[in-house]
């Protein structure tokens, strides 16, 4: 009887810059939770990546690591099945970053299309530091350290992954061995969820609903949502397909979305009623993660255990990869 084929490995991560929001839930966590069934998953809390932008006020990073870990666990990431770890607990990330930096031409980083975009998006931070230019190299190290075969990405992140693949090809060619695996994109079609003001949902815009928001905050935020701009009076027929509120119903209460659209088009209810009801839908939807969060907050030792266990498992793989690349590059040998 043949053994079971080895499962493919997946690496993904999140920067700990605060609590996660519905955009993170819909765009990443739902997908990650499913991937655990079929893949060998490594989920990283990328605190080195957070330091790149938060270096002026790093005191927030530990609390944010804790928040992201609670969000991971309360949304179904399972430390029994997946390796859930903090990046800086595995020092090999920094070590491999330096090795890969030696193999990465500066021009590859300067042409990175998201570099300038990020500089603009995070205009409140001074990101003209050496580390920020090189963050795709750290990302490459994060992935290849675990020889991940697949990286879940959206279309917009494909250039990053391409850079990782280029670095892998260059290192493998120069050391004369396939030491690193060229990761493939695992493209995921996730529903598009905009922020309360119809811009991209982002903490930097302050237009997000956090997974951990209590009911009264969810209510306040839902009531502030921008709706169909053409619907002025309650008696005006609305255009649900142009309304962000209806888009939320489609994602979080798909079975009621047709009814909501009908009431909107035929002016059977006003936007205030519609948003109030959405707040109830979201409150119910988020009740399970909220309960799990309360449980974890009451048992902080559980969080420490998860990180310790994750670090041990991640380090075992990372050290092996570092040994291989050190041998091939003559580091640490006489």
The pair of structure tokens assigned to 229 is: 């701009």
275 near ligand SF4, judged by CB under 6 A: yes
Q: How far is the CB of 229 from ligand SF4 (least distance, A)?
A: 9
Q: How far is the CB of 192 from ligand SF4 (least distance, A)?
A: 16
Return the C-alpha torsion angle 252, 256, 262, 267, nearest 10. -70
The pair of structure tokens assigned to 36 is: 């655990």
167 near ligand SF4, judged by CB under 6 A: no
274 near ligand SF4, judged by CB under 6 A: yes
DSSP line for 3-63: PPPPPPEEEEEE--SS--BHHHIIIIIHHHHHHTTTSEEEEEE-HHHHHHHHTTSTTHHHH
Q: How far apart are CA 271 and CA 289, in angstroms?
A: 28
222 near ligand SF4, judged by CB under 6 A: no
238 near ligand SF4, judged by CB under 6 A: yes
54 near ligand SF4, judged by CB under 6 A: no
317 near ligand SF4, judged by CB under 6 A: no
**How many Cα atoms are found within 13 Å in the side-chain-facing hemisphere of 332?**
9
Q: How far is the CB of 270 from ligand SF4 (least distance, A)?
A: 7
Please state the length of the chain. Answer: 334
Compose the 250-269 pattern: x for residues touching ligand SF4 by CB under 6 A, - for all others. ----------x---x-----
Q: How far is the CB of 241 from ligand SF4 (least distance, A)?
A: 9
Q: Specify the DSSP class assigned to residue 2.
A: P
The pair of structure tokens assigned to 256 is: 């009621």
Q: How far is the CB of 246 from ligand SF4 (least distance, A)?
A: 4
Q: How far is the CB of 268 from ligand SF4 (least distance, A)?
A: 9
221 near ligand SF4, judged by CB under 6 A: no
Q: Which stretch binds ligand SF4 (CB under 6 A): 22-30, 107-115, 153-161, 224-232?
A: 224-232
The pair of structure tokens assigned to 129 is: 């530091």
246 near ligand SF4, judged by CB under 6 A: yes
Residue with Cβ nearer ligand SF4 (156 or 273): 273
- Taking the CB of residue 281, how many other CB atoms lie within 10 A of it? 17
Q: Which of 203, 184, 274, 183 is nearest to 54 (CA)?
A: 203
Q: Catalog residues that contact ligand SF4 under the rule CB under 6 A.
A: 227-228, 231, 238, 240, 243, 245-246, 260, 264, 271, 274-275
């Amino acid at each position: 009887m043949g053994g079971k084929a080895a499962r493919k490995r997946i690496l993904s991560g999140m920067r700990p810059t605060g609590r996660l929001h519905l955009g993170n839930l819909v765009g990443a966590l739902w997908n990650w939770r499913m991937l655990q069934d079929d893949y060998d998953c490594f989920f990283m809390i990328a605190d080195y990546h957070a330091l790149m932008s938060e270096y002026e006020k790093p005191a927030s990073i530990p609390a944010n690591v804790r928040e992201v870990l609670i969000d991971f666990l309360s949304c179904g990431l399972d430390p029994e099945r997946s390796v859930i770890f903090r990046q800086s607990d595995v020092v090999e990330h920094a070590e491999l970053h330096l090795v890969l930096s030696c193999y990465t031409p500066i021009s590859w980083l300067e042409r990175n299309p998201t570099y300038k975009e990020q500089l603009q998006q995070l205009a409140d931070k001074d990101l003209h530091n050496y580390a920020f230019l090189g963050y795709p190299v750290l990302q490459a190290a994060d992935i290849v350290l675990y020889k991940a075969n697949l990286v879940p990405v959206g279309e917009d992140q494909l250039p990053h992954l391409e850079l990782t693949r280029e670095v892998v090809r260059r290192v493998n060619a120069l050391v004369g061995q396939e030491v690193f695996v060229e990761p493939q994109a695992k493209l995921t079609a996730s529903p598009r969820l905009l922020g309360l003001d119809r811009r991209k949902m982002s903490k930097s815009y302050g237009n997000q609903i956090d997974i951990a928001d209590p009911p009264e905050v969810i209510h306040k935020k839902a009531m502030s949502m921008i709706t169909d701009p053409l619907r002025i009076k309650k008696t005006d027929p609305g255009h649900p397909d142009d309304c962000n509120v209806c888009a939320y119903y489609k994602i979080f209460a798909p079975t009621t979305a047709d009814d909501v659209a009908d009431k909107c088009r035929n002016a059977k209810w006003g936007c205030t009623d519609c948003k109030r009801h959405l707040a109830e839908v979201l409150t119910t939807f988020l009740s399970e993660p909220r309960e799990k969060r309360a449980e974890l907050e009451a048992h902080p030792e559980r969080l420490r255990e998860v990180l310790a266990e994750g670090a041990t498992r991640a380090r075992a793989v990372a050290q092996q990869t570092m040994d291989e690349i050190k041998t091939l590059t003559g580091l640490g040998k006489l």
